[in-house]
Amino acid sequence: MSLDGPIENATRITPVKKRALYKLGLRTVRDMLYYFPFRYVDFACAKKITDLVAGELASVIGELTHVDAEKTWKKKMNLAEGTVRDDTGAISVVWFNQPYIARVLKPGTHIMVSGRVSIRRGEKYFANPKWEIINNPQPSVYNMRQSTLVPVYSETYGVSSEWIRWQIKKVLNEIRDIPELIPPDILKKYHLPGIRQAIRAAHSPKNLAEAEVAKKRFSFEEIFFIQLDRQKEKKKNKENRGAAIRPDESLVREFKTSLPFSLTSAQERVLQNIFEDFEKPYPMSRLLEGDVGSGKTVIAAFAALAAVKSGYQAALMAPTEILARQHFEEFMRRLKGFRISVALLTSAESKKFPSKISFQKTADISKNQLLKYVASGDIQILIGTHALIQDRVRFKKLGFVVIDEQHRFGTEQRARLAKKKKEIESHRDSLKLLKKSQIGYMTAAPHLLSMTATPIPRTLALTVHGDLDLSVLDEMPPGRKKIITHVVSPKDREKTYEFIRSEIEKGRQTFVVCPRIEPTTNPSTRLGVSNQPLDAARGEQSTTNSSNFTDRRQRLKLSEMKAVKEEFKKLNEHVFPEFNIAMLHGKLKPKEKEHIMNDFKSGNIRILVSTSVIEVGVDVPNATIMMIEGGERFGLAQLHQFRGRVGRGEHQSYCFVFTDKTTAKIQDRLKALQESKNGFELAEYDLMFRGPGELSGKNQWGMTDTGMDALKNIKMVEAARAEAERMIGEDPELKKYPLLKKRVEELSQKIHFE
C-alpha cells in the first residue's frame, strides 16, 4: 500500500463515501493518516447513570438493552434510538441521521457512550454521543487492556467520526512502510518521536501526554517543511543580481525637506532597511507591516524616487482601482517637486481614456499611448491594479516593485510583475509598438517591497513569508487621535443613531459597513453561487458538516445577515431621511464606484453604506464615524481595517460596532477590539484565543489545523526556521534527502504564500 496511492487502495468505499472524503480533503492514503483528531474523549472518567447532570459532558459504560432504526413522522429524519443500562439505572441514546448504527450495534453489547446530557420531557438522554464497543464491561479491566482515549474527527455528511476512526485503524494495521522524512539528528535534538510511532500515538494514544508529543512532532514537521521551501526561494533570490540603486544624501535631505511633516523614527528605521537592501548585490525581498495610517505610502514613494533617480523605473500594484487611484494622487503630491512622470493604469475606466499620466500636470491618456511611454522609459513610475501584469505592459528598465496589500495577490501575480530579462526577451517579437532599437533589456532583477496594513503575528510572518525580510512600522504619526470604539447592543441602537445624527449635523460624514449586498428573502435561495451550503461569514462554499441540519442553519445565518441594499433603504427612509445617502458595493461598475467616491470625498454624500469593498484604500479625512452592522460576522483584523477608514482628519472619530449576538465568545472578541491600542495587539489576540485559522483563514494559507496551531509557539517556529536555514545552506537542492525534497515540493503546491 503506497502512501501516495488513492484512498480506495486503503479501504473499500462507495462513490458516496468517496465524494464525502474528497470534501474533507482526503484523496490519498497519506491524507487519511494525516487526518488527525481535533479532540479525544476520555472514557476513563465514566460516571454512573444515576449521577448524570443535564447539560454536562459525560461518559457512561453499560449494556445496550435495545436499539432500533426509526424515521420521525414530522421531520422525516432517519435516526437510531436505543437504551444503555448500568447497575444504577438506564438512559436513552439517540443518533440523528445515522440509522446504520442500529445495524452495527446489537442488544446485549457493552458500550461506552460520551456526549452532552440533554433533557426532554423531564427525562435525560444522550443526543449523537460518541461510542465505543468494549469487550469487558469492567472499567478497571478495560483500562488495563487498552487506551481509554477515543479520537474524535471532523465529519461531513455521509462520513462519521467513528467510520473514519475504524478506517484509519485498518490502514495502520496494513501499511508496512512509512518513510521518515525528518533527519535523525533533528528528531534527537528536539526529542521528537519517529513517524510511525507519532502516527499511532496521534490516532490511538495511551494517554493525553503521548498525544501531545505526537502533535508536537507533526506541528514541527509542517512548519519545517514550509521553512525549507521558503529558504530555498530566499537562497535562489540571492543568486540574482539586483538593480543598482544608490540614493545619495542630498536626495534624502531634499525629500525630507519637501514633506509637510517629519518622518517618525519607525519610518526612518524602515527606510534605512530598504536603502541597505538596495546596496546589496542581490534584489531586495522585504515585507513591510504597518498599521492603518502609519505612513507606508510615503516610504514607498521615497524608495520609488530613489530608484528613478538611479535610472530605473518603478511600479506599484494595488488590489483595487480605488486604492490604485489613491496611491497615484499621493505619489503626485509627494513627488511634485522632483519632475517625475507618474502614470495610472487600471483595467477599464473607459475604452478611450482608461489611464492617467502626470508630467507635472495630470491628463487623460489612451492605454496604447501609455504603453508606449512605459516601454520607452518616459513613464518613470507606473501605478495600477492587476492590469500591470498584462502581457502588453513592458518596462524598459524596471528596478523597483511595490505590492500593496500583498496578501490579496497570489505569488504568481507578484512574480509576473517583477519581470526578468529572459521573459522580456521572449516577448520582444510581440512588442510591435516600438522600433527594435528602442527595446531596452534588463540586466538585473527588480527589488521587491510588499506592504500590508493587516498586522500579522511574528510567527505567521516568519513562516508564510519566510523568504521575505520583515520590517514593521510600529509607530503612528504624532498628533493622531485614537478612535473611540463602542460595541452597541440592540437597546442602545436609537441612542447611537442620535449621536451619529449630531456629528453629521456638525458637518462630519459616516461610513456604514454591512456583511452582504442583497437581503435574503427566501432562506432556500443561496445567491446563485452553487448547490453547496455557504459559510455566512466568508461567503465561501462550506467543506464540512453539510447535513440537512447544518445546511438549514447556514441558510438561516445568511438570512440574518445585514445587507447593504436593505440597510440603505432603512437609513434613507426611516433613520436619516434628512441626509444624502449612497451605497457602494462590488457589483457596481468602476465608473459608478468612482463617481460615488468622488461625491463622498467632496461632501455631497453624508452617509456611505458599503460592503467590505471600503476595507482598504479609502481616505476621506472628513469621515469621522464608522458604523459596522453585524460586527460578529467579521474577523478582528477586518474590523480593525474598517475602523482605520476614519480618524484621518483633525476631528475626533468614532467606531460603532452593532451586534445582536450576546454570547461570551463574541463579546470577548469585540471587547478586545474596543480596548486594543493597535492592530498588532488584535492579531496576537486572534492567534492566542481564537486560533490562527480564525486569524486569516486556514483556507487562505492552505495550512492544516496542526500547522496553524504550531504558529502559537514562537520557539518552535524559530527552531524550524533555524534548522531549515542550516540544511539549505549545506544542501540547497536537498540532494541528500530525495524523499524530503519531493514532499517539500508537494507541500509548496498546497500552501498559499500570499
pLDDT digits (tens, 9 = 90+) for 727-753: 999 999 999 999 999 988 887 776 654
User: Quick check: 294 and 269 in contact, CB under 8 A?
Assistant: no
pLDDT, mean of residues 312-322: 87
Domains of the chain and any CATH numbers: 39-152 (2.40.50.140), 220-239+711-750 (no CATH), 249-279+295-452 (3.40.50.300), 484-701 (3.40.50.300)
**Which neighbouring-strand residues pair with 319?**
none
Distance CA 608, CA 626 (A): 10
Residue 444 has pLDDT above 70, yes or no: yes
Distance CA 536, CA 549 (A): 15
pLDDT, mean of residues 14-36: 89
Q: Are strands 355-358 and 342-345 parallel, antiparallel or unpaired?
A: antiparallel
Q: Which of 91-100, 205-214, 522-531, 739-748 has the lowest mean pLDDT?
A: 522-531
pLDDT, mean of residues 437-456: 68
More confident residue, 562 or 303: 303
User: Quick check: 83 and 126 in contact, CB under 8 A?
Assistant: no
* Res. 239 pLDDT band, cuts 50 70 90: confident
Helices (H) and strands (E) in the chain, counts: 28, 25
Residue 532 has pLDDT above 70, yes or no: no
- What DSSP designation does 488 have? E
Distance CA 335, CA 316 (A): 15
Across the chain, what does the average pLDDT equal?
79
* Res. 422 pLDDT band, cuts 50 70 90: very low
Residue 144 has pLDDT above 50, yes or no: no
Joined grid coordinates for residue 160? 462519521
Q: Which residue has the cell 487498552?
A: 146
pLDDT, mean of residues 65-73: 80
**Which neighbouring-strand residues pair with 66?**
83
User: Quick check: 404 and 323 in contact, CB under 8 A?
Assistant: yes
Q: By three-state DSSP, how is residue 270 classified?
A: helix
The pLDDT, as a whole number, for residue 698 is 39
Residue 556 has pLDDT above 80, yes or no: no
pTM of the model: 0.70
The pLDDT, as a whole number, for residue 174 is 84
Torsion of CA 612, 617, 620, 623, to 10 degrees: 30
Residue 404 has pLDDT above 70, yes or no: yes
Packing angle of the helix pair 208-238, 714-730 (nearest 10 deg) = 50
